[in-house]
Amino acid sequence: MRILVSGAAGFIASHLCDRLIAEGHFVIAFDNYLTGSAANLRHMAGHPSFRFFRHDATEPLPESATSEPLDAVLHLASPASPKDYLEYPIETLDVGSLGTRRMLEAARDHEARFLLTSTSECYGDPLVHPQTETYWGNVNPVGPRSCYDESKRFAEAITMAYHRTHGVRTTIARIFNTYGPRMKLNDGRVVPAFLDQALRNQPLTVFGNGTQTRSFCYVSDLVDGLYRLMLSDERYPVNLGNPREMTILEFAEQIRALTGAAAPILFEPLPEDDPKQRRPDITKARTVLGWEPKIPLEEGLRATVDYFRGVHAVAG
């Protein structure tokens, strides 16, 4: 297949590009580098099945990207860490709305499959636990996180509208917390934050009292789910994440044990609207995609620690 990928220099998309190429596809990739990093794609330079151009998903696609046939359009572009989308709220809303529409138009023009990477944030601070795809969510529409949550909810809505109105073969992934190599050291998310702090022997900053929960999925598992979903005929959203849930305090202890860090825990204020609990119900992904995560947290974290040790070594 010839596959167009937006946000390709991001953490998840760069791993997805690796998988697409390994599966024998041709990838036409772009990113505006707002939050993505050229380093994530450096190993692809010159690959015969990979083409990259710098581009903002909210702008019209250049003709060179669309003049030849496309079989799939994968829309991954968006700031994704709370720190990033709080810094770029308008850009986040733009890429979820205008950007999604442009990518849907490309899919429609080429009669290509379309994949939207949506988010567990569609469930907001959930009142149903674990979260099933049929739960409509508890989102504050005017809170600080709304730029991300509502952008993705709009993106889901317009994706369904393009399917219903134009018959585009759309798919929607609701991605839960994902971690692994190529996360940005300073993107503020809990995995890079704790690993960075532990490796520098700094206190681990736990927000609130640390009783809020998350469930962490290793990136290769997530990418496998995205790949299967892209090929599927499921039109409604599918949760992709690891159902192993833990409190943030337990997670901090785990990072300390894994890195051997003696650093203390430092409690800091809980950000506004921080969801209190999050765990995917992945019954649908198991049934429809035959998918479930395989990499245990300990193994995934070890690979991630190795990566961050390397980043630290380069940074001196």
Instruction: Using CB under 6 A, list all residues that contact ligand UDP.
Output: 81-82, 177, 188-190, 193, 205-207, 212, 214, 248, 271, 274
| Between 1 and 246, CB nearer to ligand UDP | 246
Q: Nearest approach, Cβ of 250 to ligand UDP (angstroms)?
A: 12
168 vs 235: CA distance, rounded Å: 10
Q: Nearest approach, Cβ of 267 to ligand UDP (angstroms)?
A: 9
Q: Nearest approach, Cβ of 121 to ligand UDP (angstroms)?
A: 7
Q: Is the dihedral of CA 41, 43, 45, 47 positive or negative?
A: negative
For residue 202, the 8-state DSSP code is P
| Between 61 and 193, CB nearer to ligand UDP | 193
Alpha helix segments (H runs only) across 74-176: 82-87, 89-94, 100-110, 146-166
Report residue 60 as tokens. 């019209």
| Between 66 and 254, CB nearer to ligand UDP | 254
Given 148, 162, 218, 227, which residue is catalytic?
Answer: 148
167 vs 162: CA distance, rounded Å: 7
Residue with tokens 């990033």: 84
The helix (H) or strand (E) run that includes residue 224 is: helix 219-231
143 vs 272: CA distance, rounded Å: 8
Q: Nearest approach, Cβ of 247 to ligand UDP (angstroms)?
A: 9
Alpha helix segments (H runs only) across 232-282: 248-259
Helical packing angle, 146-166 and 100-110, nearest 10°: 20
Question: Residue 123's closest CA among 273, 12, 224, 233?
Answer: 273
| Between 1 and 86, CB nearer to ligand UDP | 86
Q: Is residue 148 flagged as an active site residue? A: yes
Report residue 290 as tokens. 């035959």
- Cis bond before residue 271 (omega within 30° of 0): no
| Between 29 and 80, CB nearer to ligand UDP | 80
Q: Nearest approach, Cβ of 237 to ligand UDP (angstroms)?
A: 17
List the catalytic residues: 148
